[in-house]
Structure 1
C-alpha cells in the first residue's frame, strides 16, 4: 500500500492514442485501482505522448522533478511504460527516486537494482575487451599513451568524484526548484525569508528534510546563478 506523496505518470506511444484515450484510460484505471486506500496525497498526474525508445520526455522530466522536490513516489501503470532503457532506469536509482508499477508492485527498486547490476557487468565486459584490444595492439608494436609525469591516487579520485556527485545533485535540485521560486516571487515574495516561507507553505523541504531558511534559499539561488541570493534576507 502506497502512503505519503504520490505523482502518477501515464504514457501512450502515438498521437492517435493520446487523442482517443485508447490505452490512457486503461492505465489511469490500473493506477487508480492500485492506489485505492492508504494514507496518501496525490500531487499531480502527468500524461505524455511519446515513443518508449526515447528518454528525453518533458512530462516525465517534470514528474521526476516533482518527485525529487517533494520526495514523492512515482507511480506508473506498467513497468514498460517508464522506459526500456537500462541506463535510464539506473539513473532513477542513483537519483534516489522511488517508483512503483501497478502491474508489478513488488518489483520496483528490486528490478532497478538487478538491472543496474547487469549494466555494471556489461561495462566490465566492455572494459575487459578494451584492455585485451590494447594489449594486442601493444604486442604488435603500437605505442600507447605516454608518461604524464604523475599518477593521481585512487583516494583522491574517489574524493573528487564524490564532490562532483554532490555538486551535480545540488545543481539538479536547484534547477527543479527554480520554477517554483519564480512562482513564489511572482506572488509577491521579495526577500529570502519570503521565499523560504513560500517553499515551507507548499510543503517542500530542503534536500536534508529540514524547513527552509533564508540561508538555504540563498544557496539555491547561488546555484541558479544569482550572486548573493539577489535579494535581501529581511
Structure 2
C-alpha cells in the first residue's frame, strides 16, 4: 500500500493588516486545500509569514523547511509568487534539499522555477534603475531634488508619472487578464514582488492613483 504523502504549508502575506484580517491568506489556504484533496495528501503543519516579499530574512520559511526535514514532508505553497520569485530564496530552497510543490503550478520543474525567479528579479531591478534615471534627468533639467514647496511638488509629480509609465505594461496585462478592482490589482502587484513608489506594498488607494495617472478605468475600490 502506498504511503500517504505529507505536507507542511507555507503562507505569506505582505502586511500586518493582511495578517490580522486574513486578506489573501484565505485564498492561499483554499488553494492548498484543493491540491491536498486532489492528491490525498496530509497537512502536518502550517507557517505564516507576515512581511514584504522583498525581504531576505524569512524566519517562518526557515521554520517550515526545518519541519519538512524533521518529518520528511513536502513544502507546499499556494503560488510561486509566495516565495517572492527571488533568485536568492529559490536557490536557498533548492540547496535545502526539501521537496516542494506550488499548488497553482504543481508540474513546475527546477529550471522553470529558476527562470521565473530570474525574470521577476530582473523586472524589479529595471523599475528601480529607471526610477533613479528619472530622478537624474529631472535634476539635469534644473529640478531641485530635495527642495520644498513647488519644486518638490513638481519633482514628485514628474517622478510619479515616470514610474507609472514604467508600470503601464504590467497594469495593462493584469487588467486584460481579468483584474476588476483596485483591491485585486494591489494584491497582484504585491504577489509579483513589484514595489510601490516608496518601495513598500501596494494598497487600493495607491493603485487608484496609479490608474488615474495612466488613465486606466475599471472596477473600483472594494
TM-score by length of 1: 0.45
Larger Rg: 1 or 2?
1
Whose relative contact order is higher, 1 or 2, with alpha carbons under 8 Å and at least 6 apart?
2
TM-score by length of 2: 0.48
